[in-house]
Amino acid sequence: MIPQEFIQSLLGRVDIVDVVDRYVKLRKAGANYSACCPFHNEKTPSFTVSPSKQFYHCFGCGAHGNAIGFLMEYSGLAYPEAIRALAETVGMPVPETRARFERAGGAEGPALTARMMEALNYYRAELKKSRAAIDYLKGRGVSGEIAARFGLGYAPDGWQNLAAVFADYATGPLKDTGLVIDSEPGEDHPEKKSRRYDRFRNRVMFPILDARGNVIGFGGRVIGAGEPKYLNSPETPLFEKGRELYGLYQARRAIRDANRVIVVEGYMDVVALAQNGVENAVATLGTATTPVHVAKLLKLADNVVFCFDGDAAGRKAAWRALEVALPVLADGKVVSFLFLPPEDDPDTYVRREGREAFLAAAAQAKPLSQFLFGELAARVDMASEEGRARFVAEAKPLISEVQAPALSAMLRHRLAEMARLDAGEIEALMPSKAPTRPSARPAAPRVARGAPPAPELRLLGRLLLRPDCAAQVPDDVLDGTRPEAATLRAVVGFCRSDPHLTLGQVSAYFQGTEHEALMEEALREPLLRQAEAGELDLEAEVAHWVQELHQERIARRQGELARLLDAGTATPEQLAEYKALYARMEASKSGNPPTESVSKF
């Protein structure tokens, strides 16, 4: 866990304007900065960044957050990774954090990363010396510019070449990088000691980078004959195949510009596509597509195109990608499948046909729904009742995985059409269910349709924009029983701890808590947009809603006393309190102060 104190200190050190401006060109717009939103396509800027609040907000798509949240959304980083990336920009070491896995006796993440960079520098230097490796890349149409962009290198033939790079080759924790292998003594010779040797030999090297550009693993392509043709780093403290995608670091900007990402199967496919001007491609790392892969890509683009060979193996891989994509699909996102001719892969196709032909083929990729129903229908006899019954039986568990409400409804409708059933019959066979997509954010409590927002929610929105005004909120208006009151109490208590807190810091403190959803709802109030333009006096607004809570509290107490009076059980003190509250309420309506006040309210 990263201490909350460190997160608050970090957000106090960084400037969100500088953070966002590294990725999106900002322009001054009054007290704030603006740009076209990087999270959706638009022509008129609706994306604003507030230096005073240390917060960004898009009035078009609703994206918002602090500097950490921006890195998470823009770069697809997990929360801890975004914190580490942000901390690096201001030279703040993150306390008590290690790589994703930590093994007993293993080296720390930063030390492993440094070793991986040393290995990369060695491999890149060796590439310049190897005529065979250079000729191989030239034969595949790879220019020096693209080789440099992807950091390609060469691991020469030989068993212990890295011993010249690492002084502690034989005894150090180099094994945690995956660069070396320790042989085990054979059963016939148990007295023999294990021997360490290089994992990669006589291979063109493809460095695998994380979202921050750190080398976390390698892929090696053998030159000439040899098996396996491609060899990948094993799972290490730095590298987890099911989470990473080759080329994502280099392709991120092109993916956002195109709002599309193309997923291929090999390193050379990514490199060849980039060489031919298709820069928004990534590859899985010697493993089948995982839900983490798909979720990460859908955060970066609305359109994901899986590109596979048209042979049986390619269609099998595509079906696996479809299965893992179903639970993470969202309405408005499109997953599709491009099948190349059986004799082609993306590398050969783009080199022969060119960039425009490849992009045209990608634009005509088969949507997930068509691939799903087409594959299932091809397995059965759709002309017979028995075949259509089997068709429904095989489609049922797949469609049930879809949590996107609109897409799920449309898939069910199409299933009914193809099975020659009506909607009611499909509903009986496959009862609709509420979406169960897991979310890190708790759902906001339901409010009756048409009911005005609770005054606590109104006050909360204003305090989030002006945390320093928490000092103006008295404790006696914080004792409400509504969920909004609980969130208001928590936010007021935190904001009182430091009058200089920003909205960015407050949002970070409550991220992932039960209060986060209500805080976001409070900030969505349309009137608060005027605060961005300086047209809303937030201090006066806070005072107004504090007064509203006072009046609500008085009315509530007055109602309690009235019920006692009606029942004939009120004490003389309660009668006097009721009269004082009544006078106070009447005075507040007329604007005159009450003549006396005996109530604690």
CA distance 212 to 436: 32
| Residue that is last in its domain, among 373, 401, 417 | 373
On whether both 459 and 586 belong to a single domain, the answer is: yes
| CATH number (domain holding residue 400) | 1.20.50.20
Residues 462 and 585 in one domain: yes
My answer on whether 324 and 211 are in the same domain is no
- Whether residue 323 sits in one domain with residue 216: no
Q: Is residue 422 part of a domain?
A: yes
Percentage of the chain modeled with pLDDT above 70: 89
Q: Specify whether 218 is located in the same domain as 308.
A: no
User: Which H or E run contains 222?
Assistant: strand 215-222
Residue 101 lies in a domain: no
Is 241 a member of any domain?
no
Would you say residue 95 lies in a domain? no
d(CA 329, CA 261): 15
- What is the pLDDT confidence band of residue 326, given thresholds at 50, 70 and 90? very high
pLDDT digits (tens, 9 = 90+) for 512-547: 788 988 998 998 888 887 776 666 788 888 999 998
In a domain, 98, yes or no: no
The number of domains in the chain is 5
Could you tell me the residue range of the domain that residue 552 belongs to?
Answer: 455-590
> Does 137 reside within a domain?
yes
pLDDT number for residue 532:
66
If asked whether residues 144 and 266 sit together in one domain, one would say no
How far apart, in whole angstroms, are the C-alpha atoms of residue 95 and residue 103? 18
Angle among Cα 504, 507, 511 to the nearest 5 degrees reads: 140
Together in a domain, 565 and 513: yes
| pLDDT band at 108; cut points 50, 70, 90 | low
The beta-strand segments (E) located in 402-542 are none
Length, in residues, of the chain:
601
Are 540 and 582 in a shared domain?
yes
70-106 confidence digits (pLDDT tens):
998 887 676 777 898 899 999 999 885 444 444 333 4
CB 561 within 8 A of CB 581: yes
Give a yes or no: residue 13 inside a domain.
Answer: yes
How confident is the model at residue 449, as a pLDDT?
Answer: 43
**Do 202 and 268 share a structural domain?**
no
Q: Which of 373, 391, 416 is the last residue of a domain?
A: 373
Instruction: Kindly state whether residues 137 and 60 are assigned to the same domain.
Output: no
| Shared domain check, 352 and 266 | yes
**161 occurs within a structural domain:** yes
Q: Is the model's pLDDT at 55 over the cut of 80? A: yes
Instruction: Please spell the DSSP secondary structure of 327-387, one letter per residue.
Output: GG--TT-EEEEEEE-TT--HHHHHHHH-HHHHHHHHHTPEEHHHHHHHHHHHTS-TTSHHH
Averaged pLDDT for residues 39-60? 89
Q: 525: domain CATH number?
A: 1.10.860.10
